[in-house]
Structure 1
């Protein structure tokens, strides 16, 4: 078995969304030469019910959960080889189980519903909590995988720099083109004309990704200066995008507790998988 840090962790739960996430994780592992660790967690919530008679509390269908896990691991091994797939069935909450496995993983993948009134308002608790707390990049998969460029938002913050590094790495592995976007909102008054400001921002963006472009010369990269609020402007570009990459906090946020407002909004409204890259600091 490959060393644990060379693996992708994916959570499954028997839903179609988790199966889509599993397929995405396998493809990411294939392009990166990684193993896949499948986590199937469950809680015996029925054990908390008051029993009406001795022995009347139903047991959780552990055999069913095991069968789901076995099928997922077999799916991985059929595509990546026997040694590249492993699984863990655990009596625990899914968040705790995934975060335990994420401690030494390279990436975590979770699924969520692609289009519903519920996710338009509130992201699933598992996806949002794992994304906020995992010590590695988390990909929240919405809808089936598709071809297209990788899109990453950059704003000059440390988190966005980590996001750009991750995006370049993924683009190099998948042979996908990469777009690096900076979003800005022109004000009524500027020290310089808007056209001049756009040119200055374009030069700044090209300069700031120079190190990554040199490291990954095979990546076809373009830069874009986009007017508008970052969450809205980036979401509008995801119709033809294979992956959107963002930092977790940008210029604000609470370390280790909450995602930034931009990443939260994009997780709800992006029309493609979203990778959230959270910088780790000693205070976490």
Structure 2
């Protein structure tokens, strides 16, 4: 197990708060770190927004943030990690800054970032959560958003031939090899209602392309059981349907046609909103913000 005290090893970053969702994320992060032989860096960030209220010529009391409570949450999380991975495999940071910024600071040296999600209904899904949105859009390493109940199904990954989807494929194969889970690779396209023969020909070409594009990864990970499909339909909807019962859904940060380094693609956003399993958002490191 990686030693977190020497500062030389990669690690898994997990953001926590007072919610039950962050506890799910913590457990997922510990399991991921154990499978990789890494340590865990726990971040409990807070920012007392009250100190930023305009208070010119206004008398009033600015509440003091409950720092002791935050520290207790952090200490409990670090103790949980040490109990399972060993004392030197855990570290923590109580950060007085916006949570997304604190997690992004740590992500520059991380192997993986893990977050919990509180998306339970349409109103929350519409905004998803500023921390999840900001971190998944800007982190230079893969980000896993833990949501819903744990499943024992396959790992599902979407591909479209873009650089980010190539990175997502590599991540998905690695995860399948570690977990011994089967892998389902899905290429989504939207055929026209006209020219049926042309549609059939196009689909056959896409199947051939998909099979050829997966050959290097199949050779690299020969033990992974892979099912590859070309499916007609909207990518966001189709991937969400395939992710039902999956142990993990994997998608690139932006797909083909997306602006490099900016925000999230529509498919990754939609999957984060609708999937009921953990979702990994993977960015091609060479295209990440701040990359040379």
Fold match (TM-score > 0.5): yes
| 1:233 has 2:238 as partner | yes
Q: How far apart are 1:114 and its partner, in Å?
A: 4.1
| 1:32 has 2:36 as partner | yes
- Pick aligned residue for 2:59 from 39, 44, 52: 52
| C-alpha distance in 2 between matches for 1:176 and 1:217 | 13
Q: Which residue of 1 aligns with 2:89?
A: 84
CA RMSD of aligned residues (A): 1.8
> Are the counterparts in 2 of residues 147 and 242 from structure 1 also a CA contact under 8 Å?
yes
Q: How far apart are 1:146 and its partner, in Å?
A: 2.2
The equivalences for 1:210-249 within 5 A come to: 210-249=215-254
Q: Once the two structures are superposed, what CA deviation does each residue of 1:61-110 show, in whole Å capped at 9, x if it has no partner?
A: 11100000001111111111111111111111101100010011011111
- Stretches of structure 2 that go unaligned for 5 or more consecutive residues are none
- Pick aligned residue for 1:121 from 126, 137, 144: 126
| C-alpha distance in 1 between matches for 2:101 and 2:109 | 14
> Are the counterparts in 1 of residues 119 and 128 from structure 2 also a CA contact under 8 Å?
no
Q: Which residue of 1 aligns with 2:46?
A: 42
The equivalences for 1:74-113 within 5 A come to: 74-113=79-118
- Stretches of structure 1 that go unaligned for 5 or more consecutive residues are none
Range 122-131 or range 5-14, more displaced: 5-14
Alpha-carbon spacing, 1:257–1:198, altered in 2? closer, same or farther (3 Å): closer
> Are the counterparts in 2 of residues 103 and 135 from structure 1 also a CA contact under 8 Å?
yes
| C-alpha distance in 2 between matches for 1:222 and 1:132 | 29
Q: Which residue of 2 aligns with 1:72?
A: 77
| C-alpha distance in 1 between matches for 2:261 and 2:48 | 29
- Pick aligned residue for 2:175 from 125, 146, 170: 170
> Are the counterparts in 1 of residues 165 and 255 from structure 2 also a CA contact under 8 Å?
yes
> Are the counterparts in 2 of residues 20 and 143 from structure 1 also a CA contact under 8 Å?
no
- Pick aligned residue for 1:15 from 15, 19, 23: 19
> Are the counterparts in 2 of residues 5 and 106 from structure 1 also a CA contact under 8 Å?
no
* Partner SS, residue 286 of structure 2: coil
* Partner SS, residue 241 of structure 1: coil
| C-alpha distance in 1 between matches for 2:268 and 2:9 | 25
Q: Once the two structures are superposed, what CA deviation does each residue of 1:138-181 show, in whole Å capped at 9, x if it has no partner?
A: 11111233211100001111111110001001111111110111
Alpha-carbon spacing, 1:57–1:121, altered in 2? closer, same or farther (3 Å): closer
Q: How far apart are 1:52 and its partner, in Å?
A: 3.1
Q: How far apart are 1:207 and its partner, in Å?
A: 0.9
> Are the counterparts in 2 of residues 168 and 178 from structure 1 also a CA contact under 8 Å?
yes
| C-alpha distance in 2 between matches for 1:208 and 1:174 | 23
> Are the counterparts in 2 of residues 4 and 104 from structure 1 also a CA contact under 8 Å?
no
Q: Once the two structures are superposed, what CA deviation does each residue of 1:115-138 show, in whole Å capped at 9, x if it has no partner?
A: 223233221110000000001111
Task: Normalising by structure 1, report the TM-score.
Answer: 0.93
Q: How far apart are 1:4 and its partner, in Å?
A: 5.3
- Pick aligned residue for 1:141 from 146, 149, 167: 146
